[in-house]
Structure 1
Amino acid sequence: MATHGAHPARTGWVGWIYFGALVMVAGGIVQFINGLLALSQSGSVYLVPSGTAVQVGMGGVGISFLIMGVVLAAAGIGVMSGKTWARALAVALAVLSVLANIAFFPAYPLWSAIVIVLDVVVIYALVAHGRELRS
């Protein structure tokens, strides 16, 4: 019997996909709120990691947080809706998260390790089982 066009049965990995999508939506909301808060601040902030002073304008930080918040939330909602573009964007964002946490591993080893493991699990779930959400 031919099964062309049939959707695969849902597995337990769908829960990990929804988990990743919900984390993206929540992270997007937090980023958006952080962006609004940064825009409400005036002036600049000076970051001094290891003796180097860098001036950062709060307006630019606020706009970038707002954009990232919208992108994260949209991708999370798209993943929950079974959209292919959202899965691809979510995988790309999770890969960037892995790379960023590798860079910050010396400063935050436990937190970075937890985030890297969760990102890898969500990437696997999205790539290997993401089609299950289309049914």
Structure 2
Amino acid sequence: MSDRRPYEGSAKQAWTWGIVGFGAVMLLSIGVVQLIQGFSAIAEDKVFVVGAEYAFAFDLTTWGWIQVVLGVLALAVGAGLLGSRNWARIGAVIIASIGIVAQFAFMPYYPLWSIVLIAFNVAVIWAVSTQSDHGE
């Protein structure tokens, strides 16, 4: 009896690797953008303008540190996905879910970019959760 999975080397495995790879690259991209966003907020850059008052108002520096921490975690989990680590798939869903909430709360500072990052995080969740196995 062979140790190979029935679809190993098949088109299904190639699609699975491709979609999980897409999720990994998206998560790495999100991490880089969150780092840039976070460092800009920490430096109190004039890029962010506060519009309407929201119930979840934090100091811009606080949001900057939240974005930096999420960015570092997204980069680590994205690298884990590229390295085919099992923990990274669960971590990607958790980090992307937290990222959606964080971007929703960051919306008063930069609404359009927050919406784009929410969509990217949804794409990551879809990519890593629709695949039952990626060939380990």
Superposition TM-score tier, normalisation by shorter sequence: 0.5 to 0.7
Corresponding residue pairs, total: 120
- Where structure 2 has 5 or more consecutive residues not aligned to the other structure, the ranges are none
Percent sequence identity is: 24
Structure 2 counterpart of 1:28, from 26, 31, 47: 31
CA displacement, residues 49-85 of structure 1 (integer Å, 9 cap, x when unaligned): 5xx5764312111110100000111101101101111
RMSD: 3.8
Instruction: Point out 4+ residue stretches in structure 1 off by more than 6 angstroms.
Output: 97-101
Contact 1:35 1:66 (8 Å CA) reproduced:
yes
Moved more, 84-93 or 22-31: 84-93
Q: Which residue pairs with 1:78 in the alignment?
A: 80
| TM-score for the superposition, normalised by structure 1 | 0.67
Task: Note closer, same or farther for the CA distance 1:97–1:34 as it changes in structure 2 (3 Å cut).
Answer: closer
Moved more, 33-42 or 14-23: 33-42
Q: Per residue, is there more strand in 1 or in 2?
A: 1
Structure 1 counterpart of 2:90, from 84, 88, 91: 88
Q: Distance in 2 between matches of 1:123 and 1:38?
A: 32
Q: Per residue, is there more helix in 1 or in 2?
A: 1
1:38 maps to amino acid: A
SS at match of 1:56: coil
| TM-score for the superposition, normalised by structure 2 | 0.66
